Copies of this chain bind each other. A is one copy, B any other.
Amino acid sequence: MNIITQQNIQVGEIANGLPLTIPVYRIKGDGNGPKVYIQANMHGAEVQGNAVIYQLLEQLKTLSLAADITLVPYANPIGCNQKSGEFTLGRFDPITGTNWNRMYQDHSSLAYEFVEKYVDLPLEQIKPQFRQVLLEHTTAQLDAPLDRLTTGKRIALNLQRLAHEAELVLDLHTGPISAKHLYCPEYAKESARYFDIPHVLLIPNEFDGALDEASFCPWWHLKLAYEAKGRNIPVFTEAFTVELGSQEKIDLTEAQHDANSILSYLNYKQAFYGAHFAPKEIARYTCQLENYRTFYAPMGGMVEYTATLGEHIKAGQTIAKILRMERYLSETPLNEIKLDEDAIAILHFASASVNQGTELYKFFTQVERL
């Protein structure tokens, strides 16, 4: 049995003084494998990642470990607990509206400063030394005067500091009602074959605020910065956002499948000795982020979603019927909404009630086989 340790880190405090804490679980390998960081539930309603971490821990206890693995459920103690009616209002700070997953810090510019200083650093020292720089900078930001940090930034930086310690970073999310899909940086495309996830969204190597980007962008820019100096180095870190399915749902059986999918990826990355986790033989499809199409409700109304998630839609196919009962006599009460191109339906809105302009669906378009 491997030893698992727990640390509760404090990331804030609320109005009545209750501390906001996050449980951090660590399990150590023999030091020869990669360092791994996995977190879940940054958005309050996206709870399934906690169940995946549960199923991971259940298996990691008894595996022969090369890797050091850090697992963080309940990453956002405010978002987890923000109820509004029966549902969890945990996508954004209820005070400011800021998306909890857009508050990480971009450390890409540190790469260029680093390369200026250490242009000739031996390859094996680049990784630990640049990692040290990232950690120091994150710590320095957390050590800034208390009045300089927002609630969400303090949470994000605490998590980012943990993530910066790792070479493999997985941020477990879900869509609203969603098929499984993976946000994968372009350069790490090959790794996407090791997850049991049929839909792979290829994102540019650019920062847009999320943890996966915050984790890999500095390393991608480190590669670019050395390239500009004529050196070729690998990108030392991979980071993914894993979209497990639908929000507001715990499914322990499905969580085990998702845990196996993650173990398959980690096995490929040599996290274990003698483990047999391998990816399933499934068709995998990719879509460039720029072709990831949001389809907004063309009218307000009550929606029947008729596209199955994961389904390959044909141009002209009906994807929704929007009911407008107040015009039963005067106009068409039932309105068929069609898509004008071939696509894969990845997710749709969580509610049947939409305003004109509410995000109705997201589609992979210009799809390719991986």
Contacts and interface: CB of A to CB of B under 8 A. Distances in A.
B147 A353 contact: no
A356 B51 contact: no
Contacts of A197: none
A74 B353 CA distance: 11
Given A80-B16, A356-B154, A351 B149 contact: no
A29 interface: no
Given A252-B321, A297-B147, A18 B352 contact: no
A97 B93 CA distance: 8
A91 B97 contact: yes
Q: Which of A51, A248, A355 has the most CB of B within 10 A?
A: A355
A18 B18 contact: yes
A23 interface: yes
B87 A149 contact: no
Interface string A150-162: 1111100000000
Nearest to A299: B13
A304 B248 contact: no
A94 interface: yes
Interface string A14-45: 11111001010100000000000000010011
Contacts of A350: 86-87, 248
Nearest to A354: B15
A250 B352 CA distance: 6
Interface stretch (A115-123, A233-241, A275-283, A323-331): A323-331
Which residue, of A16, A87, A150, A330, has the highest number of chain B Cβ atoms within 10 A? Answer: A16
Given A17-B327, A353-B88, A300 B12 contact: yes
Interface stretch (A132-140, A217-225, A357-365): A357-365
Interface residues on A, range: 35 or more
B152 A357 contact: yes
A146 B351 contact: no
A140 to B, nearest CB: 17
Interface in A92-115: 92-99
A65 B8 CA distance: 42
A13 B359 CA distance: 14
A227 interface: no
A23 B328 CA distance: 9
Interface in A266-301: 295-301
Contacts of A145: 298
A300 B15 contact: yes
Nearest to A85: B89
Contacts of A154: 356-357
B356 A12 contact: yes
Contacts of A54: 323, 325, 328, 333-334
Interface in A337-370: 337, 349-360
A4 B299 CA distance: 25
A229 interface: no
Given A23-B326, A326-B74, A299 B352 contact: no
B353 A45 contact: yes
12 contacts: A6-B329, A15-B302, A45-B353, A50-B325, A51-B323, A84-B85, A95-B355, A146-B298, A147-B297, A149-B296, A151-B296, A248-B351
